[in-house]
Structure 1
């Protein structure tokens, strides 16, 4: 049995410092200066918290800020994990590590990421979202998450705009340096993970000009793994052969991962201050990320031969004539990102000009990936308990006998993705008066030229010239804590066999041709003009204006069909497989008005309101003109395809907030926001309105499932944000934030679908929260942090909403402890995921995916300039 599903692809030094702070409103210079200023002695954590708060207060937009010093206080290894501590931000994890970033419950694909002011490309094949875990946190000066936009910012952000700033020597006091050496230990795999990082800054006097040089480097090798059990497909109702009734899944997988990830980051920034207000700069950042993964997998294919189980209950099931597959995925993946920005800033009396030329390049290579499958059929299989962790069983002793598994299939892939962007911006500003009030008029032009290409290749072998079994490549029983796994596959022995005999293997020409015709080239050219006015009215400030963006999009790919007869104008790739070129073009433009209002109601209270319009372009995977997969067997057709003619998401956004800043270290803010999103994209079964001949030519189709992204109806999202920081004289610092969201999206299915048309916004976490307790006294610094993410919708069952797939709530607890010596030496200890929090996704309490990672620990030393 099959069921239609809708899958969303959205996936300081320790010594006390004396700091002077302005306890009054920024625009209240007429008040007595002595009443505005007070001197407070604070230590490292408090100083960093104050810096973040003051930058947030000074902004003319709704923003969350985190400086590099604050990032270093927590055990966050990369940009993604550092961002999770900020108000309204959640992260999507892979193998327990943070990879993608969502803001205010919005899918990561609907956010924008920039580094040093320039857009960041995405190395992943189908993604527009950048997996920010490729950038080590050691290279950062600050992170900013803008939740409202001004016209001088790119409009392509519905969730939020993430700005990454690398280190800048002109912002430092003379020569500084820092070197960190550490080693991590993962409890689940028992592996060590060393890391070394350092940065150096200095300023040089060049005949009245100041040259600032900032260099940073980081390298980490992390060895870890995870244990997983997940359902391939959905849970559905069955009537067993003995007449019993219940709910079960047709395929369940046990997975054991061994992973080695290496991250290398380099940054070199050169800033030349020609004179006061005159600067030119060259900022560069390079990141290399590699991921070597070995995945041992058992696939319990329960309905391989029979449509119904032998017996079924609420917690157990037994199937006969089932199959058990054992597979090894042997994959090495490397991602590189290079960002170069050349620009300048010049104050010319009442005029000012800024310009920047940027080049960004990202690529992902997956060479020689091998997926090898062994199979044993005719088994009696099932589970003795369902729920979160199904306990699988095999009634036949041969299930644990490696010699009983025959070599069935080998898939070798060579995949390469390239994403490149050239951008230019020119901005002018002019000091003017508006009704006697000082203001700044700003206007400019921005140009972006982006090209994303994919070269995807697969060769499928299904004949091997002899009867080889798993016994020839057995690796002993896998150490697996979620049940009985049985023998695994020895990587070295298998690869040696493949390398020596691959010339004798038989290729499945049809499946190879279908899986390889997935190449694409997509170009996206964006031209923008804007004008804005920033006016000060004493205690009030307003920024308003309009941005115009024009987009030219083109996509080149292939139409692929399996047909019994030739197709006119098509090239025959293999017997009965034909391909034709597919070219698409889509042009659109839009005006984006916005207004941001800020009012210093009192010396301690700031009120804000904003109305903005924005858009998010669909992910490249959704726009891909080449089908991701085509399967046709005995009249049953299954297709996963993109849609290059999708319209972009368009949003109207309203924000209001109240912020209270205490005279001592402390702040409290509460805000509300509402987003109305048009052209919402969903992936739906469009078989009822699709011409099957484009996939199968003249062949007869009895049953079809064709999944394709389409523009749906309107979606809305409403939420509230709270943030609180409080410092105490005894050394304690408390920080907490929470974001609550509620959303509704229309699928546009119609009454005949049999289920509700309304769902929550996909990937939206209903609650995102952080709570941090810090303590600092003399040389000792402690931080205990909790990051919480509420339930979120991942997948919709088109027939019954009871089987929608939800990611369960997740709460991770981390600890950081540091001890600083007077000579600049610091010893630190970090503990990540102390409570061994797993990942769990479920359908009405039944397993969707359960994965454990275990806690990990880091011990290290840092030596820095005083």
Structure 2
């Protein structure tokens, strides 16, 4: 019996109008007056690509500080599909690719760990355990400005070693006119079109309205409101390996055994230590994955601005978004990845090229839903007290809630022998199942796996639940005093306070195996089978299998559990929970200066920011009781209840800064910046839980301390910030009215690094504290390291060419970053003697090479742009687990095309093609070629019609 699967997305559109009206009262944009803080802004006005280039160059010439930006004249003017894609237009900015699109942002090739993101000058909450921002929650249609501060100054929120990304929203009165805009966009994904019953079509709708007017007694009032939402398919064909990796040197045909081993007695050791002989890295399991995935997003941004007189400016702002996505996964898994490995070959890095083994084959199905809601609002009051004194007060809230449910059911076959060969150029590995040990290919296997009855050895159902809550409340008071002295023109000072409450509940799991496996299998096959969900699976990756038995996951889950509800309660106490409160108090003092040195004009600012951080972390540990058995040995027994442990920590940082711009002549300017900056460890590293592993097979211990010999850390509340000293020198040459060449050299010196170590701490048993070594504890090491790099930017408009070629333009940038920072291999399943042989990783997120280039043409009514983006490989850690192997993302490339045509003054039609070269997303561990993830998502096309009044 085949059943038709359905996917349910959240019901939102019916209440959209009411939600927008309700949010409208909050308003948007509490950004400080731009005249208060001069910035070295590279403006890209997207009303036209040529105007974009011209505006960018003019701003770079006139401002003193180190900032690049995309600044828009109109809300909704951004042409990109996400803010992350917009940011990639800026020199040195690149994104991590996720599900075929841009996600986390890196500045100058330095990962999100070293960056900071704000909206209207305020920190943004996160739905994960790290501090990176999901930019897709701020639709590009509703944001009218993006800045990247590449150097720090005293008034900026701390946290941006690589830079600070600042999102800005519209101020209606300052905008000064009425504007109505609406856009309908249709997308086509060729991979979504492969899905059964799907046409590959997605959609996105947006509208915005801005107006301002004069009310009684010359008061100015304005408001803005915007909505963007739609459905975005994100399907993938992929091959994935488990997160666990270990070395082995055994050959089953020679050494015997079952699971592979790493011993000096194995033949490959040649009578010596195993690490001195040949060996291979191998994962616990691997899977071919067919998956359908759809993301649904709705977002609203509102603004209210009121100027009761010429001295007071009041802004209220609110942002709301809800993102929902589902993934429907069907895996053909080879579950016994290390069993009876033989006939293996490796390359010089011990990466497997081919081998044979024995495994059970799994039919693994998972339906995953994630919902994430973001709420942000704030109030900002600017008061011109006197001609010399200006005060600004700002209060804000930012909150994110995320939950994720995973429904899982698996059936497995009896064991089969197989041959494995590594794929080339990112292709999937080729697996051939055999009719026995050393046998011939099992010809019936491709057909066997299409029937669920083949997977008749065991089955299991699971339910998972994950919850994250993150809230930031903040207040700032700033003063700007104009003194107009010969050197110093203004003095700025301010105080800021924020409190962050972060609850990251460890994913909970409940599982059940059926009492009657055969009956559960038969019922599932009869009641839950579905036809193969797509066509042409694995065509772009040379997959050896193009189809296998598939079921409705939730139906199969109910059959295996016999209708029993599996409850996974993420909020029940767990040692992996993170319960963090982070209070930050900051004070700054800064002077803006202007002067002439001979024929040269010098501008800039100098100041310092003092930051005090207070950490409170509450950890959960399983409660134990101890007793002495008849032989006089101690036995530790878990009991109902948990031990709560509270840790408090506080520390201070002083961050001086200097930014200068010197005009050498009309065409050349020099820039210099020197500043101290900090990066905050991710929230999940501040967990205070302890996992006490008691060996149940042990007959007892000589003391309680001996019983506590395997305690693993779930975080470290005593972590402090990573400081760096930063220097930058740049030259800008404006060699024509619409052309510019710039080069910037930078140096960043770190005084420490984060890694894992074993530390001494206490564990409570029977209410008494015992000393214990806590393994895998996040630690700040006093290891110095440097980053040296340079950034080159070229912008040129070919105005001297005859029409229509005078509409041609080019912009491009290249960034090089080199660092001696080391992230040693620390996989918990890799012995230390092997870890030291593995080349260490660099700074997480660091790409040595980053480049982007765009060639465009713009006429009176039509425009075209082709853009190329490149990012070299970088280290991408597995979340908070520092005991996992180093994971790397291979070089990422993207070629995109966009076209537009203005039908008249009101209507514009646009078309885009993304990932034209169909680049796969590749990840490997330990050494190049040891792929643990290969993803293909194909091309995506967009067509839209925009109305603007």
- Shorter-normalised TM range: 0.7 to 0.9
Q: Which has the larger strand fraction?
A: 1
Hey, what does 1:212 align to over in structure 2? 222
Hey, what does 2:203 align to over in structure 1? 194
TM-aligned CA distance change 1:502 to 1:632, over 3 Å: farther
Hey, what does 1:655 align to over in structure 2? 728
SS class of match (2:57): helix
Between the aligned partners of 1:814 and 1:135, the Cα distance in structure 2 is 22
Task: Name the TM-score, length of structure 2 as normaliser.
Answer: 0.78
Would you say 1:420 and 2:457 are equivalent positions? Answer: no
Between the aligned partners of 1:559 and 1:657, the Cα distance in structure 2 is 52
Hey, what does 2:10 align to over in structure 1? none
Matched-pair contact (CA < 8 Å) for 1:294–1:330:
yes
Between the aligned partners of 2:917 and 2:694, the Cα distance in structure 1 is 43
CA offset at residue 608 of structure 1?
0.8
Matched-pair contact (CA < 8 Å) for 1:382–1:392:
yes
Task: Name the TM-score, length of structure 1 as normaliser.
Answer: 0.85
Between the aligned partners of 2:371 and 2:628, the Cα distance in structure 1 is 40
Would you say 1:96 and 2:100 are equivalent positions? Answer: yes
CA offset at residue 654 of structure 1?
0.7
Between the aligned partners of 2:164 and 2:628, the Cα distance in structure 1 is 50
Would you say 1:610 and 2:673 are equivalent positions? Answer: yes
CA offsets, 1:802-833, max 9 Å, x none?
x9643211110111111102241111111111
Would you say 1:536 and 2:594 are equivalent positions? Answer: yes
SS class of match (2:564): helix
Hey, what does 2:432 align to over in structure 1? 393
Would you say 1:83 and 2:87 are equivalent positions? Answer: yes
CA offset at residue 761 of structure 1?
1.6
Instruction: Give the unaligned 5+ runs of structure 2.
Output: 1-34, 36-44, 194-199, 255-267, 269-277, 347-351, 435-441, 630-634, 699-708, 800-805, 827-831, 879-884
Q: Where in structure 2 are the equivalents of 1:377-388 lying within 5 Å?
A: 377-387=414-424, 388=426
Hey, what does 1:362 align to over in structure 2? 400
Would you say 1:707 and 2:776 are equivalent positions? Answer: yes
Between the aligned partners of 1:109 and 1:629, the Cα distance in structure 2 is 30
Hey, what does 1:299 align to over in structure 2? 333
TM-aligned CA distance change 1:747 to 1:101, over 3 Å: closer
Between the aligned partners of 2:866 and 2:851, the Cα distance in structure 1 is 14
1:597 to 639, 642, 660: 660
Would you say 1:681 and 2:757 are equivalent positions? Answer: no
TM-aligned CA distance change 1:725 to 1:57, over 3 Å: same
Between the aligned partners of 2:692 and 2:420, the Cα distance in structure 1 is 31
CA offset at residue 561 of structure 1?
7.1
SS class of match (2:353): coil
Would you say 1:847 and 2:928 are equivalent positions? Answer: no
Runs of 4+ with >6 A deviation: 69-74, 511-515, 561-567, 572-578, 628-638, 690-698, 748-752
TM-aligned CA distance change 1:629 to 1:141, over 3 Å: farther
Hey, what does 1:725 align to over in structure 2? 795
Q: Where in structure 2 are the equivalents of 1:332-371 lying within 5 Å?
A: 332-347=369-384, 348-366=386-404, 368-371=405-408
TM-aligned CA distance change 1:775 to 1:235, over 3 Å: farther
CA offsets, 1:651-703, max 9 Å, x none?
11111111123452122110011111223112x364xx6789889999xxxxx
Matched-pair contact (CA < 8 Å) for 2:575–2:714:
no
SS class of match (1:836): coil
TM-aligned CA distance change 1:316 to 1:561, over 3 Å: farther
Q: Where in structure 2 are the equivalents of 1:225-624 lying within 5 Å?
A: 225-232=235-242, 233-234=244-245, 236=247, 238-243=249-254, 247=280, 249-250=282-283, 251-303=285-337, 305-306=339-340, 308-309=341-342, 315-320=353-358, 322-347=359-384, 348-366=386-404, 368-387=405-424, 388=426, 389-395=428-434, 397=445, 398-405=448-455, 406=457, 408-434=459-485, 436-437=486-487, 439-456=489-506, 458-467=508-517, 468-469=520-521, 471-472=525-526, 473-477=528-532, 479=534, 480-481=537-538, 482-484=543-545, 485-497=547-559, 501-503=563-565, 516-538=574-596, 539-560=601-622, 579-624=642-687
Would you say 1:738 and 2:814 are equivalent positions? Answer: yes
SS class of match (1:51): helix
**Range that drifts further, 575-584 or 712-721:** 575-584
Would you say 1:142 and 2:145 are equivalent positions? Answer: yes
Between the aligned partners of 2:721 and 2:422, the Cα distance in structure 1 is 45
CA offsets, 1:145-176, max 9 Å, x none?
10111111112221211100012223434111
Instruction: Give the unaligned 5+ runs of structure 1.
Output: 1-25, 27-40, 699-703, 797-802
CA offset at residue 513 of structure 1?
11
Between the aligned partners of 2:576 and 2:720, the Cα distance in structure 1 is 22
CA offsets, 1:161-210, max 9 Å, x none?
11000122234341112110011010112121111001111111113122
Between the aligned partners of 1:200 and 1:443, the Cα distance in structure 2 is 36
TM-aligned CA distance change 1:586 to 1:850, over 3 Å: same
**Range that drifts further, 628-637 or 485-494:** 628-637
Hey, what does 1:47 align to over in structure 2? 51
CA offset at residue 285 of structure 1?
1.3
SS class of match (1:220): strand
Between the aligned partners of 2:748 and 2:765, the Cα distance in structure 1 is 39
TM-aligned CA distance change 1:77 to 1:49, over 3 Å: same
SS class of match (2:234): strand
Hey, what does 2:12 align to over in structure 1? none
CA offset at residue 499 of structure 1?
8.0
Between the aligned partners of 2:495 and 2:760, the Cα distance in structure 1 is 42
CA offsets, 1:516-562, max 9 Å, x none?
55333211111111111001114111200111111111011212378
SS class of match (1:337): strand
CA offset at residue 112 of structure 1?
1.3
SS class of match (2:666): coil
1:761 to 823, 843, 849: 843
SS class of match (2:49): helix
Hey, what does 1:7 align to over in structure 2? none
CA offsets, 1:691-742, max 9 Å, x none?
89889999xxxxx995332213223211101111111231112110111100
Hey, what does 2:39 align to over in structure 1? none
Hey, what does 2:113 align to over in structure 1? 109
CA offset at residue 236 of structure 1?
4.1
Matched-pair contact (CA < 8 Å) for 2:757–2:779:
no
> What's the C-alpha RMSD, in Å, of the aligned pairs?
3.5
TM-aligned CA distance change 1:344 to 1:692, over 3 Å: closer
Between the aligned partners of 2:97 and 2:808, the Cα distance in structure 1 is 31
SS class of match (1:414): strand
CA offsets, 1:208-253, max 9 Å, x none?
1221212111011112311111332347453423359774624322
Between the aligned partners of 1:288 and 1:216, the Cα distance in structure 2 is 15
Between the aligned partners of 2:375 and 2:628, the Cα distance in structure 1 is 45
Between the aligned partners of 2:408 and 2:58, the Cα distance in structure 1 is 53
Hey, what does 2:38 align to over in structure 1? none
Matched-pair contact (CA < 8 Å) for 1:478–1:486:
no
Between the aligned partners of 1:628 and 1:163, the Cα distance in structure 2 is 39
Hey, what does 1:5 align to over in structure 2? none
Matched-pair contact (CA < 8 Å) for 2:296–2:325:
yes
Between the aligned partners of 1:214 and 1:119, the Cα distance in structure 2 is 22
Matched-pair contact (CA < 8 Å) for 2:100–2:234:
no
Hey, what does 1:154 align to over in structure 2? 157
CA offset at residue 59 of structure 1?
3.6
